[in-house]
A and B are shown apart, each in its own frame.
Chain A
Amino acid sequence: MRVKVLSRNPDDYVRETKLDLQRVPRNYDPALHPFEVPREYIRALNATKLERVFAKPFLGSLDGHRDGVNCMAKHPKSLSTVLSGACDGEVKIWNLTKRQCIRTIQAHEGFVRGMCVRFCGTSFFTVGDDKTVKQWKMENPEYGEEEPIHTILGKTVYTGIDHHWKEAVFATCGQQVDIWDEQRTSPMCSLTWGFDSISSVKFNPIETYLLGSCASDRNIVLYDMRKSTPLKKVILNMRTNTLCWNPMEAFIFTAANEDYNLYTFDMRFLESPVTVHMDHVSAVLDVDYSPTGKEFVSASFDKSIRIFPVDKGHSREVYHTKRMQHVITVKWTSDNKYILCGSDEMNIRLWKANASEKLGVLAPREKAAMNYNQKLKEKFQYHPKIRRIAQHRHLPKSIYCQIKEQRIMREARRRKELNRRKHSKPGSVPLVSEKKKHIVAVVK
């Protein structure tokens, strides 16, 4: 009896030496693989669906504060360390991997208004409502209650602080912007331009002598530390809460505004913002750039955080949970993977920056599949079905209703303007672009 079995000639698949290229038993003749577009379309559709299925961005919350979290700071050298300051004057240092508080300091009486870590990561500064600037060591003290390294007693309340990226210099803001040498108890120079309380000051991470600040008289002021002079002031329709410099593009910064929008400016052309980012339905309280400079995250009073691509006018992602209240502060971690947000209800939440990303080490095939899926999603992003799935987000009712309401309002305003233009002398009602609409003036 003869038994037939499948048999292959080893010459067809065995390499002579291991240095030879692997034989690919594959024929790429396009005639043999028809319907490439429909097949890829289906794959893209599936990838999009799976992305939505796996979109679970919330990783965990760090609880322990006894009041709303007012400010946060990233550690420049350690990814797992993050600092937070609360409204009761307490500062906590967290270990993210363990999701534990490793240290608690009662730093101030009243709010901790701002905090920043020295560029080397050995110490950090806090400012509070008690008119003091305090410098603290990063490590735990050996024993007992801990004392700050330095305390500077000021005349007025400081509302914000930021450290220089390379030198032993920091800047505080309150009634004026003060630039301090770490070794001295009086500021190196004070920069003023009019009298108003300044809510936030930020050093440019690339051109480190540049500073940006936003004051409550609705303006954003730029300063040059070298020349110890303000440079230019742009006045917007409403107050800017804070601003953040792009870490990859020296002249770009984004301002979080009370009018629900964020404005990305090029500091060389302040007459109109580069992009107006609109999606929030309440005041935007904080903004932070991703370390790649391609995206930024914003925290809003509407109890959500949103991720915007730098060059897009609308957000690509919105995060919210039932228990999360007004988000006061937000940070994007320096490995571009996570987002931290501190909110009113005393919690710090940890999110994935990419909602459906698989955490942990990926096998090469997984990685390839992920890249392929990403590419497919990108390729077919304009197809209506795919777009619908990719754009679908669940929103809490309050935000959803407000979005609808605001859309109606915007539409009404637009219609009114249209009608006004239609019924008045041509040219008398000029067409003002969305970008220009929010800028009141630029002061030299």
Chain B
Amino acid sequence: MAEEWLGTEAAASENEDEDELQEDGERRHRQLLEAVSSLSGRKRRRLAERTEASVQVSEFNVSTKGTGEKLVLSELLQPIRPKSALSSVKNELTRVKQKAVVELPLSKEEAKRVVREAAYVTTSKDVGKWQQIVLQNRRAEQLVFPLKQDIAAVVPLEQATSAWKARTPLEQEIFGLLHKTKQPITDPLLNPEEAALLQAMSLEEARQRRAELQKARVVQSYYEAKARREKKIKSKKYHRMLKKSKRRKALKEFELLQKSDPEAALARLEELEQLRMQERMSLKHQNKGKWARSRAIIAKYDLEARKAMQEQLAKNKELMQKVSVELPEEKPDDVPEEDLTSVTIPTIPTDASRANPWLLGKPSSPAKEPEAQEGQGDILEPGAAESKEEMEEEEEEMSEEEALLQDFAQKRHMRQQRAGSPARQDADVTEAVSELPGDIPVPLICTETEVSAGIKLPTDVQEEVLLMQQLDRARTMEDIEALASEESVEQPEELVAGGREMGVQQPVVAGAKAKARQQVAAGTGAQQLVAAAAEAREQQPVATGTGAEMGAQRQPEERRAGARPARKPTSQKQLISLQAVLEGQAQEVQCPSLPVVLEEEEGGIDQRGVITEAFAGDDVVADFRREKRKAEQDAKPQPVNLVLPGWGEWGGSGLKPSTRKIKRFLRKPPPAPPRKDQHLPHVIISEKRNIYAAAHQVNELPFPFERHQQFEQSIRTPVGATWNTQRAFQKLTAPRVITRSGHIIQPISAEDIPAAARPTLEVVPELRVQPGQRRGRTGL
């Protein structure tokens, strides 16, 4: 066909002109296309192409050929005139176009699966509320079925007497009375309150309550017993420790309170003040009681009694000590008071002032600079150290912090001593005295302290201090390091100082005494101090002119006392006891140097030696050897004696069977096979296993048990009535499940469960919403 077409075209091109040729070519081309399309079986629909304007325009054959653009639907709707009826339609169209495409709905299978999953989760959660009860029932020692125990209900009288009426006057009267008092008529057992109570508390709850009460009672009785026991303890030391610890605790708490809540702390202080006032009012602890009077009689001869009295006095003072509240406003108020005391009671003898608490109550002084405190501490501490050296008991009780503080003080003191030049010794005493009433300048105090430090420090005191340091060494590592460097330097100087001040021990003591009277008002001045010095002189004949100095030292001390109420009790106690002990100096020679040396010697002994010494008596190896020999002997087969006395010869008392007969009838067993432990000297192998018993024994640990001890324990405890009391026997043999014959056991339900367990059941509310429906609404 193509050839034909080519042939005809070639023929046409020869004899026709250009236009005709083209038109003809177009027609032919169309024919060709039609022919080709007719060749294939199906008819291809061809879009009619409109190339020229015509009257009849098919609306289906609109094409945009040639424009190179897509035809937009809205353009077609565009009116020729601006306003037309189609505008609303157009708007609609644009609005529709702006909407997002709706997602494809889940397939039916998928949707169902989602519903199922959701339902399963909720249902299994619902069912899970039984978990607790199921576990409880599985673990229960005993279960009684049916679960719902129908308690035999008392038939209410209401039903029994419904027909009955009060007729006789007596009956009516009684009923009237009952009505008046609101007593139950129908149900005579319970009035409404009681009934409500009964309903409110189930058996289970009652049991629980009872158990709780029991527990509480047990705990209470336990505490009571404990308190009684503690109260009975006679040890003074124990009580002292107890008191001390309590005090310390209280202080700590107070400090904490001060930090956290200053107002509360103030309130607490006020409370203390109240206590103090009460103490003052009550006149307790003033050595006026029966006991105190008896003590006073003995005190002359008995050191202990004296000490006790003084302790009580100290306590009194302590209790009456005004608690200081550090407020700046107080300062001006204090000064006149001081003046007043100084004016009114200038020449009270020291003993009286000591006894009279009214004189001791010293208003608090404002806080001082640290230097002053330090200096004052220096003065105090040697005294304390002395008290220490003399009172070992006190030393023991001393808490660690205190010991540390003392250490520091001593170290400081030594340093000062090293630095303290003899030039300072001639510091002006009068100047110090003149300065007394007012605020003492810091440098002066420093010099004074140094002076005093330089003066005192006799050799024996020095020794003691060193010893104590040795003891302290074990406490902190810093101490050891510090001392290692210091000791070598200090030693000679101290020796020199000691040599210089040989026999100047007493001033120190006097100073200490003066300190003991620290409560004396500073304003009392020189006379009082002189008196104090005089007293000291009385007691210790060797006196120096340092008494005034001591007096000068006192004031800062007082200030410190005001500033640090926490530290007060101990130091005061020490000081007073010191004074008490001073009289009996025989006790002060107790010195721990000897045991220390001994300890060192003991340390050298070999550990092994100690053990051998401890177990010197028993020789284990020999014992074992003996044991093994015995086992061997026992294991040897014994000869069997079959001798019958009197058989074939005369028998009777005193007659022995003949040796011939014995020889004949003594059956020797064959020798035993060689022992397995023959060549093992350290082992005994026993081959006596009873195979008959083994058949009855359990040869592997049964399942629920984890250790063989548990299993053995379970077997060992007998359950029978032979070994147990009736009650225990009943308890031990109680069956796991109890059922009643002839009773139908219903499946468990929420009503069967005791109230204690029920809340767990009601936590999960029943879900009535149908997730399937909801899903249907939202998903599609």
A-to-B contact residues, CB < 8 Å: 24, 28, 30, 33, 36-37, 39-41, 43, 76-77, 79, 165, 205-207, 210, 222, 224, 226-232, 247-252, 267-268, 291-294, 334-337, 368, 371-372, 374-376, 379-380, 382-385, 444
Contacts and interface: CB of A to CB of B under 8 A. Distances in A.
B686 to A, nearest CB: 22
B698 A43 contact: no
B696 A371 contact: no
Contact of A382 (B702, B719, B741, B743): B702
Interface string B744-777: 1111110000000000000000011011100000
A227 B123 CA distance: 10
Interface in B349-366: none
B737 interface: yes
Contacts of B743: 335
Contact of A371 (B130, B711, B733): B733
Interface of B: 112-113, 115-117, 119-120, 123-124, 126-128, 130-131, 134, 137, 143, 145, 695-699, 702, 711, 714-716, 718-726, 729-730, 732-735, 737, 739-749, 767-768, 770-772
Nearest to B704: A382
A374 B735 contact: yes
Nearest to A229: B119
B770 A28 contact: no
Contact of B723 (A36, A228, A252, A379): A36
In the complex, the 3 A-B pairs of residues with the closest C-beta atoms, listed nearest first: A291-B745, A205-B747, A247-B747
Contact of B120 (A231, A335, A374, A382): A231
B134 A294 contact: no
A227 B126 contact: no
B134 A250 contact: yes
Given A336-B739, A372-B719, A383 B749 contact: no
29 contacts: A36-B720, A37-B718, A40-B719, A41-B696, A210-B127, A226-B767, A227-B115, A227-B771, A229-B115, A232-B120, A248-B134, A250-B127, A250-B748, A251-B128, A293-B137, A335-B741, A335-B742, A336-B145, A336-B745, A372-B720, A372-B721, A372-B729, A372-B733, A375-B719, A375-B732, A376-B720, A380-B715, A382-B698, A384-B698
Contact of A30 (B723, B737, B748, B767): B723
Given A227-B115, A334-B744, 16 more contacts: A28-B724, A37-B716, A41-B696, A77-B744, A79-B742, A207-B126, A222-B120, A229-B116, A268-B128, A291-B744, A335-B740, A336-B737, A371-B733, A374-B735, A385-B695, A444-B113
Contacts of B732: 375
B145 A292 contact: yes
Given A33-B723, A224-B123, A372-B720, A337 B770 contact: no
Given A206-B130, A227-B770, A229-B772, A383 B697 contact: yes
B745 A24 contact: no
Nearest to B147: A248
Contacts of A294: 737
Listed residue (B116, B126, B743, B748) with the most chain A CB atoms within 10 angstroms of its CB: B116
Contact of A37 (B115, B116, B715, B749): B715
Given A33-B722, A385-B695, A375 B733 contact: yes
Contacts of B720: 36, 39-40, 43, 372, 376
A206 B123 CA distance: 13
B124 A251 contact: yes
A444 B110 CA distance: 11
Contacts of B127: 207, 210, 250-251, 267-268
Contact of B748 (A41, A77, A248): A248
A379 B733 CA distance: 11
A33 B747 CA distance: 46
Contact of A227 (B119, B735, B740): B119
A36 B697 CA distance: 16
A379 B714 CA distance: 8
A4 B128 CA distance: 76
Contacts of B137: 248-249, 293
A206 B715 contact: no
Contact of B744 (A37, A206, A335, A376): A335
B698 A39 contact: no
A104 B463 CA distance: 119
Contacts of B734: 371
Nearest to B123: A224
A204 to B, nearest CB: 8
B696 A24 contact: no
A396 B725 CA distance: 46
A230 B116 CA distance: 6
Contacts of B115: 227, 229
Contacts of B741: 335, 337
A337 B123 contact: no
A335 B742 CA distance: 6
Contacts of A368: 729-730, 733
Listed residue (A207, A248, A385) with the most chain B CB atoms within 10 angstroms of its CB: A248
A385 B747 contact: no
B116 A231 contact: yes
Contacts of A372: 719-721, 729, 733
A205 B702 CA distance: 36
Contacts of B723: 28, 30, 33, 36
A359 B779 CA distance: 64
Listed residue (A24, A28, A165) with the most chain B CB atoms within 10 angstroms of its CB: A28
A95 to B, nearest CB: 15
Nearest to A336: B739
B745 A206 contact: no
Contacts of A232: 116, 120
B695 A335 contact: no
A288 to B, nearest CB: 13
Nearest to A310: B138
Listed residue (A210, A226, A383, A384) with the most chain B CB atoms within 10 angstroms of its CB: A226
B737 A292 contact: yes
A292 B134 CA distance: 12
B695 A444 contact: no
Given A43-B720, A224-B119, A251-B128, A334 B745 contact: yes
A378 to B, nearest CB: 9
Given A28-B724, A79-B744, A268-B127, A379 B719 contact: yes
Listed residue (A30, A33, A207) with the most chain B CB atoms within 10 angstroms of its CB: A207
Contacts of A222: 120
Given A227-B770, A368-B730, A36 B130 contact: no
Nearest to A232: B120
Contacts of B702: 382
B116 A337 contact: no
Contacts of B124: 231, 251, 267-268
Given A206-B747, A336-B739, A337-B739, A376 B123 contact: no
